[in-house]
Amino acid sequence: MGFLFNLIIISSKIKCLLDGCDDWDVSADLPEWDSHPSIIKETRLRPDIVIHSASTQLLIMVELTVPYDNRMEEAHIYKREKYMNLTKELENAGYKAVVMPVAVGARGFVGSSVYDLLTKLSICGNKRTKALKLLAEIAENSSRWIWSRRNEKFLHKD
Ligand SMILES: *[C@@H]1O[C@H](CO)[C@@H](O)[C@H](O)[C@H]1NC(C)=O
Ligand SMILES: *[C@@H]1O[C@H](CO)[C@@H](O)[C@H](O)[C@H]1NC(C)=O
């Protein structure tokens, strides 16, 4: 009985966010990417990644932070609160909105939030393992890049 119960909880927890339609579009807050749907652009928040489906009016907003490793939890809570209002607004406008704050520590610690996101997007097994490793490596490399230029003026806004 207990075993079955656990199984049911696990399977509902990892339900794929992308089930139910196949017209997903991805936009990112980066110059070379498509811009966000207009409903998002009207707000003053700019989520890092928006995965959205016009047919179901479902919006998945991915917000990335790269905190110091000892501030992962704090960063996560801050982001969740920051987006709570936006989620409500979108719901009032007839959308279904999901916010997925994810954190990759500046020194390469990939938080469980990333694991959860990948799983909910049906990125599992080997692909997920590779993605997690790559994310950790990019965070580490980027931190090294910043550190090695710590004395350069352009990194400091005085
Ligand atoms: C969320 O909305 C409330 C009430 O409108 C407002 O007081 C608060 O500052 C908002 N929070 C953020 C993070 O925008
Ligand atoms: C990270 O840096 C190492 C050493 O410079 C390099 O070999 C590796 O390809 C880099 N990884 C990524 C993902 O850029």
| Cα–Cα distance, 145 to 87 (Å, whole number) | 35
As a whole number, mean pLDDT of residues 94-108 equals 90
Average per-residue pLDDT for the chain: 84
Q: Is residue 137 part of a domain?
A: yes
Handedness of CA 42, 46, 52, 57 (dihedral sign): negative
Lining residues, ligand 1, CB within 6 Å: 82, 85
Q: Is residue 35 part of a domain?
A: yes
**CB distance 142 to 133 below 8 Å:** no
Look at residue 1 in the predicted model and tell me its pLDDT. Answer: 43
Of ligand 2's listed atoms, the one at least distance from the Cα of 140 is: 1
Nearest to 101 by CA among 93, 89, 112: 112
CA of 146 to the centre of ligand 2 (A): 14
As for how many domains the chain has, the answer is 1
Of ligand 1's listed atoms, the one at least distance from the Cα of 85 is: 1
As a whole number, mean pLDDT of residues 122-151 equals 93
Q: Is residue 71 part of a domain?
A: yes
Instruction: Tell me the pTM.
Output: 0.77
CA of 85 to the centre of ligand 1 (A): 6
Q: Is residue 61 part of a domain?
A: yes
Nearest to 36 by CA among 16, 12, 63, 9: 63
Q: What is the pLDDT of residues 60-80, one digit of tens each?
A: 999 988 888 777 777 777 777
- Which range marks the domain in which residue 122 is found? 31-155
Question: What is the pLDDT confidence band of residue 27, given thresholds at 50, 70 and 90?
Answer: very high
Look at residue 140 in the predicted model and tell me its pLDDT. Answer: 93
Residue nearest to atom 12 of ligand 1 (CA): 82
Lining residues, ligand 2, CB within 6 Å: 134, 137-138, 141
CA of 80 to the centre of ligand 1 (A): 12
Q: Is residue 97 part of a domain?
A: yes
Phi/psi-derived region of residue 144, left when phi > 0, alpha when psi is between -120 and 50, beta in every other case = alpha
Q: Is residue 106 part of a domain?
A: yes
Of ligand 2's listed atoms, the one at least distance from the Cα of 134 is: 13
Q: Which long-range contacts (CB under 8 A, 24 or more apart) does 88-96 make?
A: 89/43, 90/39, 90/59, 93/39, 94/57, 95/39, 95/57, 95/58, 95/59, 96/56, 96/57, 96/58, 96/59
Nearest to 61 by CA among 19, 28, 106, 16: 28
Structural tokens at position 8:
């049911």
Q: Is residue 98 part of a domain?
A: yes
